[in-house]
Structure 1
Amino acid sequence: MNKFIAEFIGTLTLVLFGCGAAVLGGEHVGQLGIALAFGFAIVAMAYGIGPISGCHVNPAVSLAAFVAGRMSVRDMLVYWAAQFLGALAGAAILMILAKTGVESGLGRNGWGPGYLGEYSMQAALIFEVVMTALFVIVILGSTGAGSAPGFAGLGIGITLAVIHIVGIQVTGVSVNPARSFGPAVLAGGEALAQLWLFIVAPAIGAALGGLLFRFNLLKVGD
């Protein structure tokens, strides 16, 4: 239960801070500010709930940990439930705060005509697979045996911020099915229709990253 609550709060915070920066302050802070909001939210939660649950706050991270042999399927499912519910709660709070409500899109992810850089579905798919794989590689590497204790949160948060700097115009950046789920469910319409990509692509990327550690192609320590 402690881990469930921690993952719920952590994912709620990520969505509220990251998507909140886009919806409530995007025109003031710009793409860099939004990227830093997502990154700083992860840094904060890494030190706040990391000792309790490991601060996955992302179903793709939990999947990667399972594939790498660091998590049981039971724990993964508990984490998933907490993460999706937390993301939905974070998006609901943002919807209440946003003056334009669901019309703002609540920081949803997407692609195609009318969405930010208007990138294609293929570009969105490739971006999400590759960036999720790189993201979980940083996470698994920085939290494994032999890693520098106390610095994982910084490395993970900085990585997420950089991914956003690179990719906000492509997909709004998911690399996290729960982060996409909360806004899409409440915004509905095209956001919900495109949600599948932000579940499938991060899952593929997470599995690829996890397999590299599972088969010791990337090995921390001796």
Structure 2
Amino acid sequence: MQPTPSADPREYEHVYLFSEELEDVEPKTIDAELEQRIADSYQRLSIFNGTYLGVRRDDVRKGTQEYWLNLAFLDPKPLRRPARFWSAFVVGSGIGIIGVLGLVNTLFSVPDNSSRPLIVPLMAIATLVSLIVAVVRFLGTFAFFTQHGRIPVLFMSSDKPNRRQVRLFIKHLGEAARRARACRTPVRGHYLRDEMKEHRRLQEDGVLEAGQFETARALILKAHD
């Protein structure tokens, strides 16, 4: 039985597809992998069959989530998001620096203070280290979005297991995404139709919420006009 669409089918023109038409693939070759462990969670990312990405997440609290992405519909240029811990660290460091500056100001207001020669260089070093850590760690997560739907479907740490491996994997991911895009039809309307289908599949697989799908649908339809 064909499912009932959530809106008038005429609104979708040539973009909307029903769930029976959703794509299904089986991994045959693994091109690149990245494993990340963060606290009580584990994530394995696998580029397979040249143009797909498999995602498996194991979390002590949330359980296991496993899904795959057609890289033809992924924007290969990620956005960087601040990690929660380092966001708090940066704020705390700022407050701490302000406090130390207040202490230094108090010490300098006392005449003939023997601690001056030692405090000034230590303060300069502490400030420099804090700024370096803030810049390096504050933006700790890469977020990848769908091409026209602009929904985040992939997150990865920027430094697990190390930055070199993450950069290399992102390079492979970009190459696979461009390769997948080149394999699709050059007709824009057909591409947008297939991207809508990909969002529908991700919603039915539990990756996207209903609100996210509706947001993506609206943006894809706008791009289709």
TM-score (ref. length: structure 1): 0.29
Q: Could you say which structure has the greater relative contact order, defined with CA pairs below 8 angstroms and 6 or more residues apart?
A: 1
| Greater strand content | 2
Q: TM-score, normalised by structure 2?
A: 0.28
Higher helix share: 1
Q: Which has the larger radius of gyration?
A: 2
